[in-house]
Structure 1
């Protein structure tokens, strides 16, 4: 099902549905429709504050919002942060649950990318188009209409930032001066947003030597980027770590085909030789 979602044009991908399919790796009982309904309900409350009908017109986001963008943002912040209490989980930042959308909605806590996802999706359902912006170290959202641009830090209760404040935020997190790159402020495609969430989970699980959960994440990463040589190599080595020799061989052979001139090609050939020897000994 994850693959079928990814087969669509990027803008048509059901971001919430895909994020909840990721969550099913750790929480198989997740009811996707239930969590979709929770976001719908939050959006109706936003529209209620603005005195709008519960369902936005079909073209609400294609032309201009039914209220001024800053009014929408105030209503979003009131519902999501003031009333519902969503907040950044700074005390337990590396908890995998911060990357699983069901747990973010259950616990009302998450990290920048998942809280931004909630913000973006509630806004979309309410009739306001907001994009993800993948700053280094800190994901935010952006609302842009005409001359007006608002950067929204969902990790810090929806505070509004200028571009300069975004740069200063990144430099504070990095603890060093960084050269500004304008591509930091380009909208993040939906596939890239999902990939960033998966990469977070992969890192957390590998740091904990939790190889089985990490492997489940790699399965989705390969579906997301089937032509990525690096993902094939890393998944192959993880299979090898778990003594899945046949699958390790398959991935490392695929890596050689995808990256025949890779710097580590001789190292990978040695792995392949070792795996074949292990398989021969088992027969």
Structure 2
């Protein structure tokens, strides 16, 4: 079966369950609330900003709107960037509840609040940071310093003042040269962060373990899965779930598909791992495919032996 067949089969299974999945998502409770109830929190924040603007008796220049958003989010509501990235600051409902979140998620909240106020916020990845700013024909205003801070700095946090960050080199001219992230790009960045977070947590007890560690030359005869490191199953599953979503956005990203297949291998889902890694080999550069090929062959045998033992057979499966 070739890569196209695999993808068509997978696509068909996804489409057939879209309606059911949508209903399940709508009714899913997270910390006691449905998704729509958590999203209504963003509406409430936007309403607070509108009240703040009315109380100031000012117009709707974007600078004034941003100042009001900053006051409501960072002063009245007390949102702040987490110094340590963990699962509690990486999911929308948790951040809206604790008001402490990762930089990318706070940026998403900021974008969504401003969208409800009819203010378009742009974003771009700069080095390790994701920066946001309002769409404007006069970017110089964003970098004017008042009370020790520029509006651009207040919106994006400490990275703007950190000389080790590429964000600190930005000015009104270089800002115009950045690649603007689409909604699809932002979701991709967020999902990639989730994958890294949960893989790191899953492999915490296996210092130095990388997703590609098992791809070293296959020179042993261990095919029963006993050599696979034990990982934290919940975090591994969450990493796989985030990877599945990201693959929908980036189906031809061979490195992402390889990593997804390796996570399935670590979860001992050999059949799915073989499928994903086989698709990966169709897209990967030749030298990468050559590295994967012997591992996939071994994985085929591990899948067969796993099925053999599940039927109650004992001993090693041998191929004549």
| Normalised TM-score (structure 2) | 0.65
Is 2:299 the counterpart of 1:275?
A: yes
**Structure 2 counterpart of 1:172:** 164
**Structure 2 counterpart of 1:189:** 182
**Structure 2 counterpart of 1:241:** 266
Aligned-residue offset at 1:150:
5.8
Is 2:195 the counterpart of 1:202?
A: yes
**Structure 2 counterpart of 1:263:** 287
2:61 corresponds, among 63, 68, 83, to 68
Residues 254 and 181 (structure 1 numbering): CA distance in 2 closer, same or farther, change over 3 Å?
Answer: farther
1:144 corresponds, among 135, 148, 161, to 135
2:47 corresponds, among 30, 33, 44, to 44
State the 4+ residue runs in structure 1 displaced beyond 3 angstroms. Answer: 26-30, 148-152, 165-171, 180-184
2:35 corresponds, among 20, 32, 36, to 32
- What SS is found at the alignment partner of 2:125? strand
**Structure 2 counterpart of 1:86:** 79
Residues 234 and 151 (structure 1 numbering): CA distance in 2 closer, same or farther, change over 3 Å?
Answer: farther
Is 2:117 the counterpart of 1:114?
A: no
Kindly indicate whether the alpha-carbon contact (under 8 Å) linking 1:142 and 1:150 is maintained by their aligned counterparts in 2: no
Give 1 or 2 for the bigger CA radius of gyration.
Answer: 2
Aligned-residue offset at 1:29:
6.3
**Structure 1 counterpart of 2:209:** none
2: CA distance, partners of 1:275 / 1:172: 43
**Higher RCO (CA < 8 A, seq sep 6+):** 1
Kindly indicate whether the alpha-carbon contact (under 8 Å) linking 2:103 and 2:130 is maintained by their aligned counterparts in 1: yes
Aligned-residue offset at 1:148:
3.8
Structure 1 residue ranges without an equivalent (≥5): 8-17, 53-65, 153-157
Aligned-residue offset at 1:113:
1.0
List per-residue Cα deviations over 1:90-137 (Å, max 9, x = no partner). 1xx221222211111111111211111111111110121111222222
**Structure 2 counterpart of 1:155:** none
Aligned length: 239
Structure 2 residue ranges without an equivalent (≥5): 1-10, 16-21, 144-148, 204-234, 309-320
2: CA distance, partners of 1:73 / 1:204: 31
Aligned-residue offset at 1:182:
6.7
Residues 166 and 38 (structure 1 numbering): CA distance in 2 closer, same or farther, change over 3 Å?
Answer: closer
